[in-house]
Every structure is written in structure tokens, then in C-alpha cells.
């Protein structure tokens, strides 16, 4: 939920809010953060969950009608919201970071396997899967892409199916290598296509060095396309 509160009153309202929630259910977690306002996350003893964002008028007016349901609006703010917000375009810096980080983690595979740190290798694999999800998310041309608990609603069916098809892995070296290759085969062609479409410089030398490193260390070739 969103509550529109002047900045100087937000601390007091937050305390009152916690008191009201605790009167309904014992709180086992109370977490506060800042993301476009003061966010208060509460989890009750039965894992009831309620989130409250405190923001001022200016912050509230950054929202859109299609992303907000009006419950109580004495100040008439909802009628002043834009109907929707157009997609601002790709975050090129974000995509460039994802590409570099993907190659960096891929290049660390021989290190962790050489040390027999198979748990670390599997943790790195999950980072690669998340990088693919984040890359696919960048192609979703919506300003509000939804929360992190709704992947299937964020991505189109073919992209979600791609994530579902990625192989699972045990802690054997062969299984880990196969899983890394599968993710890289899905990620790199798509990342290269996005870089070309959006004018992002491709790290040609870094990719070549990483491929050579994998070939030399593990005799592994990463497919150029899926």
C-alpha cells in the first residue's frame, strides 16, 4: 500500500502504523528501507505480509493510474496521475554491466573447478541464470515491469520457457560445465543482439580472452548461438 504523508510526519505515521499492525498480529519481522520513499515491510507470526510505502505528494504524482488502485484519496491526487508511463528505453549501462559480469563469472569457472569448490561453482551458476533473467527483463518495453516475485507475468512465454529449459545441476564437474555452457549459449547471442540494436560497445577482447581461457583450461567451447 502507499500512503501520502508529508516528510516531516512520516516517522510518526510509521510508528503509528506499526502499532496498528501489531494490534492485529504479532510481528516477527519489521524492516525499513528507502526506495522512492520510506518502505515498511511487516511479516506476521502466521507469515501474513504487508508492505507500506510512505511518500509525499511529489512522489505520489510520479505514479500512474494503470499501476495504482485508489482506495482513499481526500486530496484528489489520483485524478492528477498520468494514465500510464511510456517505456523510457533500454538501460544501456545496465546491459553493459550484465555482459561484462557474465563473462567475468564465466571466466572464473576454471578457478573454482580447479580448487574443487563445487558449491562456489553452483553459486556462480545461479548468478549466471539471474543475469540471463535480468537481460531478458531489459527487453520488456514497459516502465513498470512488475515485482521480483512475478517472473512469469514479466516475461513473454517463450522467454520464460527458455529459463525453464535451462538444465539443473549436481555438484559433479561434468554437470556444472554442461549447465554453464547452456546458460552461456542462451545469454551471449541475445546479449550481442541487444548490444548491436542499442548501440552498446561489445567487449570483443574480453569475450575472446574468456573463450580462450575456457578452451585452454577445460577444453570447453561455448556455442555462438542457441
- What's the whole-number mean pLDDT along residues 77-94? 91
Q: Does residue 98 surpass a pLDDT of 90? A: yes
Q: Using 50, 70 and 90 to split pLDDT, how confident is the model at 35?
A: low
Q: Does residue 226 surpass a pLDDT of 60? A: no
Check if the beta carbon of residue 136 is closer than 8 Å to that of residue 156.
no
Alpha-carbon distance 215 to 210, whole Å? Answer: 9
Burial class (CB in 10 A: 0-12, 13-18, 19+), 5: buried
pLDDT for the residue 37? 67
Check if the beta carbon of residue 41 is closer than 8 Å to that of residue 31.
yes
Residue indicated by cell numbers 520510506 = 38
Residues in contact with 32: Cβ distance below 8 Å, sequence separation at least 6, in sequence order: 14, 38, 39, 40, 41
- Express each pLDDT in 47-85 by its tens digit: 999 999 999 999 999 889 988 899 999 989 999 999 988
Q: Does residue 205 surpass a pLDDT of 60? A: yes
- Express each pLDDT in 106-146 by its tens digit: 999 999 999 999 999 999 999 999 999 999 999 998 888 87
Element (H, E) at 49: strand 49-55
For 66, the 3-state DSSP assignment is: helix
pLDDT for the residue 54? 94
Helices and strands in the chain, H and E counts: 9, 4
Domains of the chain: 2-80 (no CATH), 92-218 (1.20.120)
Beta bridge partners of 41: 31, 51
Q: Using 50, 70 and 90 to split pLDDT, how confident is the model at 25?
A: very high
Q: Does residue 217 surpass a pLDDT of 70? A: yes
pLDDT for the residue 76? 92
Looking only at Cα atoms, what is the longest distance across the chain? Answer: 68
- Express each pLDDT in 161-195 by its tens digit: 999 999 999 999 999 999 999 999 999 999 999 99
Amino acid at each position: 500500500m502507499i500512503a501520502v504523508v508529508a516528510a516531516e510526519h512520516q516517522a510518526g505515521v510509521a510508528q503509528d502504523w506499526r502499532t496498528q499492525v501489531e494490534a492485529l498480529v504479532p510481528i516477527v519481522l519489521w524492516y525499513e528501507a528507502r526506495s522512492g520513499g520510506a518502505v515498511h515491510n511487516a511479516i506476521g507470526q502466521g507469515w501474513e505480509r504487508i508492505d507500506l510505502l510512505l511518500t509525499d505528494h511529489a512522489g505520489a504524482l510520479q505514479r500512474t493510474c494503470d499501476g495504482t488502485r485508489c482506495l482513499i484519496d481526500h486530496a484528489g491526487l489520483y485524478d492528477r496521475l498520468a494514465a500510464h508511463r511510456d517505456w523510457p528505453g533500454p538501460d544501456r549501462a545496465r546491459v553493459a554491466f550484465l555482459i561484462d559480469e557474465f563473462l567475468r563469472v564465466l571466466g572464473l569457472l576454471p578457478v573454482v573447478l580447479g580448487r574443487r569448490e563445487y558449491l562456489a561453482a553452483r553459486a556462480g551458476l545461479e548468478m549466471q541464470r539471474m543475469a540471463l533473467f535480468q537481460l531478458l527483463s531489459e527487453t520488456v518495453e514497459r516502465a513498470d515491469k512488475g515485482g521480483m516475485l512475478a517472473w512469469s507475468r514479466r516475461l513473454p512465454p517463450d522467454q520464460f520457457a527458455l529459463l525453464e529449459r535451462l538444465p539443473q545441476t549436481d555438484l559433479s564437474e561434468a554437470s556444472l560445465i554442461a549447465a554453464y555452457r547452456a546458460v552461456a549459449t542462451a545469454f551471449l547471442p541475445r546479449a550481442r543482439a541487444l548490444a548491436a540494436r542499442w548501440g552498446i560497445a561489445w567487449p570483443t577482447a574480453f569475450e575472446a580472452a574468456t573463450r580462450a581461457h575456457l578452451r585452454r583450461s577445460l577444453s570447453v567451447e561455448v556455442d555462438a548461438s542457441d
